[in-house]
Amino acid sequence: MRKAPTILHLDMDAFYASAEQASKPSLRGKAVVVGGLGPRGVVATASYEARVFGVHSAMPMGQARRLAPNAAYLVPRFGFYKAISEQVMGLLRELSPLVEPLSLDEAFVDLEAGGAAWDDASARLVGARLRGDIRAVTGLTGSVGLAASKMLAKIASEQAKPDGLVVIEPGTERALLGPLSVRTLPGVGPATGDHLRRAGIHTVDEIVEAGEDELVRLLGKAHGHGLYAMALARDERAVVAEREAKSVSVEDTYDVDIHDRVRVGLEVQRLADRCVRRLRGAGLSGRTIVLKVRRYDFSTLTRSETLRGPTDDPAVVREAALRLLEGVDSTGGVRLLGVGVTGLADFTQEDLFAQAAEAAGAAGEGVDHAVEQAADDVPAEERDVLVERRWVAGHDVRHAQYGHGWVQGSGLGRVTVRFETPDSEPGRVRTFLVDDPALESADPLPLVEVTGAPPHRL
């Protein structure tokens, strides 16, 4: 194990919700919930004010509304979040070439590899300055954990939340881990946690007391050995700068189960096209096409077909997905569909062009790609609203007379807009007809206006 706490873990605080609060002055200090707003929507992120009521990520949106009926409920703006994430990741890459992003709002950094830190004091200084730089560049806060390993750095950042810095000093690791729940350790999810609890093991100390042989008996050789090592604070995992993608996939959950077989087929084709757009956007191709179908009774079926070589041709992927659908019984209704591509490569095989030509004739009429491209980042339950007339809760608009604002809600032929910007006072609310020619969709405004010299860097 490293002797200095030079592994840094950054976790942006309630990222989506915090970004929305920073963007919308009227929501600052108030409960904000971001996620799919349909009957089957789930919470993506809840602000700390909403968490007081028991709302948390992955919770069904209906339950969140019951717990916090007066919260603001917004549809995610993934393009906006991604732009902020790129700013944050840029700050991290100034510290070290070894940055391992885990998601838009979370990453590990090996500070020693970049020469940014080499002992406790220098690591603390880097962490403090990073938090200041993130606030200066994005207006948001992040929690920083520093330790000698990835596992401990992540635990430290959790303890630092919100908007804090925690350093786990060498020699204190075992004492820190001992009283914590077994769920704290990587790889211990609900199922493993319940299995350990039934065996009378609730804390990390109790894992150590049970011994490695008992862990192997309970969980199997690989998992048992790995979990015992982590309970002893042994984690040799390195920070990996490039996390190789294993698959590219898209899926949608539908408000109402789909019973019409033709509609199911059209949805599969649409998903295949979206999947290929993401595949091409990443500069990849793949050999294996995967279809996922969740039926009315929550049973999930997965079917796959491996092609002769890698492809990024939408007609080939559509046709393969439709062939897989033929072998799936959708009687009773379908609540979720997904299409994915695995066996990724950075090239395509020329002899698949003939297969693509055959598939193009068999796949039938496609969907409106322009509409799909616009709706790609909108949850399925919001997409019908977008196609009909574009006003999605939380998204940006501009009015010819009143300027920039955001949609508070729409329905019955009207749309309600609050007019404010990140650096304004809380704005006024006005209501318009949904087809008002003076109202149009707009791009998000930056949270922080760039003026003067950039913040100090190490």
- Cα(93)–Cα(96) distance, rounded to whole angstroms? 5
Q: What pLDDT does 456 receive? A: 43
Q: What pLDDT does 372 receive? A: 35
Q: Of 106, 173, 267, 381, which one is the catalytic site residue?
A: 106
- Cα(330)–Cα(349) distance, rounded to whole angstroms? 33
Q: For the CA atoms of 245, 142, 406, 446, what is the dihedral angle to 10 degrees?
A: -80
Q: What pLDDT does 451 receive? A: 55
Q: What's the chain's Rg over C-alpha atoms?
A: 25
Q: What pLDDT does 247 receive? A: 86
Other beta carbons within 10 angstroms of residue 451's beta carbon come to: 5
Strand-pairing partners, residue 441, are 397
Give every strand in the sheet of 300-311, ordered side by side: 247-258, 334-345, 285-295, 300-311
Nearest to 33 by CA among 76, 80, 72: 72
Reported pTM: 0.73
Q: What pLDDT does 446 receive? A: 93
Write out residues in the chain with pLDDT < 70, as ranges.
1-2, 242-245, 346-389, 450-458
Q: What pLDDT does 352 receive? A: 37
CA atoms within 13 A on the CB side of 443: 5
311: left (phi over 0), alpha (psi -120 to 50) or beta: beta
β-strand pairing of 439-441 with 396-399: antiparallel
Q: What pLDDT does 450 receive? A: 62
- Annotation marks residue 350 as catalytic: no
Provide the residue type at 253 as one letter.
Answer: T
**3-state SS record for the chain:** CCCCCCEEEEEECCHHHHHHHHHCHHHCCCCEEEECCCCCCEEEEECHHHHCCCCCCCCEHHHHHHHCCCCEEECCCHHHHHHHHHHHHHHHHHHCCCEEEEECCEEEEECHHHCCCCCHHHHHHHHHHHHHHHHHHHCCCEEEEEECCHHHHHHHHHHHCCCCEEECCCCCHHHHHCCCEHHHCCCCCHHHHHHHHHCCCCEHHHHHHHCHHHHHHHHCHHHHHHHHHHHCCCCCCCCCCCCCCCEEEEEEEEEEEECCHHHHHHHHHHHHHHHHHHHHHCCCEEEEEEEEEEECCCCEEEEEEEEEEEECCHHHHHHHHHHHHHCCCCCCCEEEEEEEEEEEECCCCCCHHHHHHHHHHHCCCCCCHHHHHHHCCCCHHHHHHHHHHCCCCCCEEEECCCEEEEEEEEECCEEEEEECCCCCCCCEEEEEECCCCCEEECCCCCCCCCCCCCCCCC
